[in-house]
A and B are shown apart, each in its own frame.
Chain A
Amino acid sequence: MLEKIGAKIYEDTGVTASEALFPEPFRSGLEYAAPARGMWNIVHTGMLIPESHQIFVCAEGCLRGVVLTAAEMGAIGRLSSVAIREGNVLDGDMEELIIDGASDIIGKLPRRPRAVLIYTSCIHHFMACDLPRVYAVLRERFPDIDFIECFMNPIMRKSGLTPDQLMRRQLYAPLKPLPRDPRAVNIVGSDLPTDDGSDLCRLTRENGFSLNEIARMRTYDEYLGMAKAFLNISTYPSARAGAETLSKRLGQRHIYMPFAFDYGETDAEYAALAGELGVEAPDASAGRDAADLALDRAARTLGGMRVAIDYTAVSRPVQLARLLSEHGFNVTDIYLDSVSGEDRDAFDWVKGNLPWLLFHPTARPAMRVAPRGDGTPVLAVGQKAAYFTGSDRFVNIVENGGLHGYDGIAKLAGLIADAAETPKDARALIQIKGLGCSGGCCV
């Protein structure tokens, strides 16, 4: 039988806003992983490249998670592996292992892939593996295949770009310069397709621009055609660095437009986009009114019910807390392990205006044994918030859910109201890896 550790309340499970420090409200140390699995990983993201194949070269323990990610999304045929063993580390034959392993796999594939993503690991970094030579040999051996240098090296997550940022950058590595199309625009670096009804999609399309993003690409040639766009838009924080690199490399314009819960910032973003497109800035008043109406309606539906928000659902959880609070929601808890710079202003506002609000970590060891809910009904925005509060009333989205602009705020308010009225099976839903991935957008 399981030996229960007990129901003791631990210090590390929450801090009030008044006491919370920016940007790290909690100590670092050992880390726990809650069983909320909706966030995408590097396998899901890599699968967005049509007609591609992935080869991971790492130790068995690292392969396990990625192979089963592919299997669970129904794409085991698009991922292969090369296992690193102790002998490879000791014998110095790592380059040959990658070259021979990748060549062997490519030769056995039932269909020639247009691109092969090779994921090397922490081991290669520490061994100073000669990756340029590896790729040079493979490119010479398979000139019809684009080899994409990818990384599964979480040990580097605090050294420069994170693996997530790197993946979103490498996603566009095969794009080569093409004649510029002044009516083509890309959204780059987002895993999920941007909602067609969003202000972003409508502003571009209604002004006669084509809007492309990788989640909508069905063929490799279509994907390569993204190089024609004159403008790249990134909307997700970890997509920004890659979008800047791509834009600089291909001579494209770039604008960063995160999904903001601040009306002034939203107006400024759309005015900037209109400027890039050379069109008149949109009148935001109707969208703003609709967002306000939806928020007020949702607040009435909740009727004072506690609201908890986590960082996996939206990239600016503190800004969302502020917006909801200003519309009468009872926001009581935010789950995050650090506060992003984009949330700094909202963090300061919350400290001053909601000093009793609790920030909770998601990775501190004590969260493993923290009571999951106290019986009080909670509306959770995000899977981790649902898990930690034990709530079955939750908004099941990750990575902003494809929402953007005032339309996105209104739709999120609608999702909140709907979640308050319709319970969900949290245990079943939040353990599914890569929410939205096996729905067809990346397989």
Chain B
Amino acid sequence: MKFAVLIQGAPYSTQAAYSALNFCKAVLSEGHEIYRVFLYQDAVHLSTSLATPPQDEFNIYAAWTDLAREHNIDMVTCIAAAARRGLIDEREAKRHNKTHFNLAADAELSGLGQWIDAMIHADRSISFGG
């Protein structure tokens, strides 16, 4: 079964990213497929390359990066929600004449159409943090 996962809440400020992480692990361990994880609203902060949580705290950024790499999960960050919150990649930085960019290397910016596509093609859609 294919799952589409929408995360809406910010990391640490809400449980959304952590709950979604555990949900995806459970889905994958049962042999199902994650069609796409879409980061929207404050969840786009999960895509920053600059977060450095204290070493004695759970690193939600590293946990998501590891899971996505291990299972080749298609993770998409909403470009409009991210730009609004100051999260941009190198290309967007050039486009907007910014001197820096801060999107994590593995993160991919794209539009809401990616979430619509995920809802259409997945067997189940689930949201965290709305």
Same assembly: no
- A-side interface residues toward B, CB under 8 Å? none
